Amino acid sequence: MIEPDAKANLEQTALAVRHPSGLHARPAARFVRTASRFASDIEVENLTRRTHPVDAKSILSILTLGVEKDHQIRITAEGDDAAEALDALRRLVLAHPSSDGDEWA
């Protein structure tokens, strides 16, 4: 678990999930693929359901969060590329879904 006060290269952001499916199935897989591109430790928690933070690079962990459309999530990244990781994940979460609603464009 990332300790916010103990790490130097720590970045956090809180956002509302806009995808109609939340972070389920394909959107969750896309989120995990994006997080996995970075060396930083990345965690995500569902603020709406008050879940504990989970590994953003694990599809099973992401699915256990039960993130639905309009749920608030917090993403925390710690490492040399934390700012870039959060920027990429923020853009993904805030993007409008494709016309079929299955994946982010």
What are the catalytic residues?
Answer: 24
Token readout for 81 is: 């590329």
Residue ranges of alpha helices (H) inside the chain are 25-36, 59-64, 82-94
Contact 75, 56 (CB under 8 A): yes
How far is Cα 80 from Cα 49, in angstroms, rounded to an integer? Answer: 30
| DSSP code for 101 | S
